[in-house]
Amino acid sequence: MSEDGSDVSVQSFRVGERKKPVTSNVPADCQVNGEQKNGTSRRALREEERRKRKEGHLTDISLDEISVRRGNVYDFYVPGVIFCVRGTYSQFDALEGKARHLLPPLTGDCCQTFSTVAAVTLSSLGFAVMMQDCSDVSTVNYLLYISAWLHQLSAPAWPQQKARPTISDLNTCLRLHEFFPSRVNSDEFEVLFYNQYERAKSLVDQLCRPYLKRSRRTNESNPVCGYVIASGDYTVSIFSLPHDTRNRDDSPYVEAWTLCLCDSHGTQPWAGNKASITSLALGVKRPCATATRGILPKEEGLAHFALILFALLEDHRAMGANVRHTPYMTWSPVRRERMTATSAEELRGIIDNKWLPAVLENEVIARAATKHKFTPRPCFMGFTSSRVEAASIGLAGAGKDGVKA
């Protein structure tokens, strides 16, 4: 494959066939001049490619240009498109107020852990209907809480010992491959430059592929359902959840999906500087069926979602610009076992009874937990009741804080 994802053709020769030597009557000095010109041309092409990679953009549209103020809150410029669930804090202000007693010192640097854990756990729900029980402020708060602590405690155990963890570090220390239907493979990623809009858009589009048209050559038992996208010191994740429309004649849609964007920075205007999960629904309508409010036509939904994602990535690229280096991204696919469904209650049980106890078996992590006096609170993803213990500490929340356009 070429860098932009297109196929590269290679000419083949039959066994035993040889090329005839090429003879030339061109004087030697002319051949040398020709080679020099070809070398200069190749260098010029390489320099031009570097320039395009360095100066190219996924989009020229900014986050400010796609947001408007409706009432007292910011929203996407097209009404009725997005649903944003905001947390109580972002990773940057989580050490203020009550949270300073609840979250560790490295919270401000946990976006890689947050994005990876959020994508793996939430995409494991399997279907959009399961996500309804987790579309709450408590879910975002719990993901920030547990990701920040796991980031802090696992840091001494990261195999690569860098300032921030890699996917491999997180898989190794947090054992993400062992307990959830979704997983991210550390050796499976694609490097994209910011001038590769078409390739980036195609990766987003593939999250909503028609079921019957999926290639038999791909890993059909574990298809790609999302990506963890890292660029410099900034990481977000995206994933899709299908709606249960197959073999249901009463559904107005042949197929439908919900796309989600997980971000702990709070940069999107409608996130209000809080960690958030922004989602939108899209689908392919049956002929003559009436469209459901809140579900966009597939191509329109994909275009809006890509615009939000690309504007967000460009915003952080601009803030961390380094004139000496060519910026790039790594897109690590999230794969989910096909036709699996996990309820919010089951997911909480996996987290509390299997996953976290296994993570804390690591001696290095256990020592760090003892040092920081950390005991994990029961998972409060999807809890809205003020009777929940976590609500009293300002993390679970007492109700939904979603912003519906």
Q: Is residue 26 packed enough to be buried (19+ CB in 10 Å), middle (13-18) or exposed (0-12)?
A: exposed
Residue 9 lies in a domain: no
**One-letter-per-residue 3-state SS of 213-280:** HCCCCCCCCCCEEEEEEEECCEEEEEEEEECCCCCCCCCCEEEEEEEEEEECCCCCHHHCCCCEEEEE
Q: Is residue 152 packed enough to be buried (19+ CB in 10 Å), middle (13-18) or exposed (0-12)?
A: buried
- CA-CA distance, 108 to 114, in Å (whole number)? 11
- CA-CA distance, 311 to 144, in Å (whole number)? 23
- CA-CA distance, 123 to 341, in Å (whole number)? 10
Residue 279 lies in a domain: yes
Residue 105: the pLDDT is 92
Residue 170 lies in a domain: yes
Residue 392 lies in a domain: yes
Residue 279: the pLDDT is 97
Residue 245: the pLDDT is 82
Under the phi-then-psi rule, with left for phi > 0, alpha for psi from -120 to 50, and beta for the rest, what region is 273?
left
- CA-CA distance, 383 to 32, in Å (whole number)? 75
Q: Is residue 302 packed enough to be buried (19+ CB in 10 Å), middle (13-18) or exposed (0-12)?
A: buried
Of 128, 117, 234, the closest CA to residue 180 belongs to 117
Instruction: State both tokens at 53.
Output: 């990679």
The SS3 call for residue 170 is helix
Residue 399 lies in a domain: yes
Residue 221: the pLDDT is 64
Instruction: Please state the φ and ψ torsions of residue 59, each to the nearest 5 degrees.
Output: -155, 150
Query: Are the beta carbons of 274 and 87 closer than 8 angstroms?
Result: yes
Q: Per residue of the chain (405 residues), what is the pLDDT tens digit?
A: 434 443 333 333 333 333 344 445 556 566 656 666 677 787 888 888 888 888 889 999 999 999 999 988 999 999 999 999 999 999 998 788 777 888 999 999 999 999 999 999 999 999 999 999 899 999 999 999 999 999 999 999 999 888 889 999 999 999 999 999 999 998 999 999 999 999 999 999 999 988 655 545 554 668 999 999 999 889 999 999 999 887 777 788 899 999 999 999 999 999 999 999 999 999 999 888 888 888 999 999 999 999 999 999 999 987 766 667 788 999 999 999 887 899 999 999 999 999 999 999 999 999 999 999 999 999 999 876 433 444 334 455 433 444 443
Residue 11 lies in a domain: no
Residue 10: the pLDDT is 31
Number of domains in the chain: 1
Domain hosting 364: range is: 64-207+222-404
Query: Are the beta carbons of 63 and 267 closer than 8 angstroms?
Result: yes
> Which spans in 81-175 are helix H?
111-123, 128-131, 137-154, 167-174
Residue 105 lies in a domain: yes
Residue 111 lies in a domain: yes
Residue 374: the pLDDT is 95
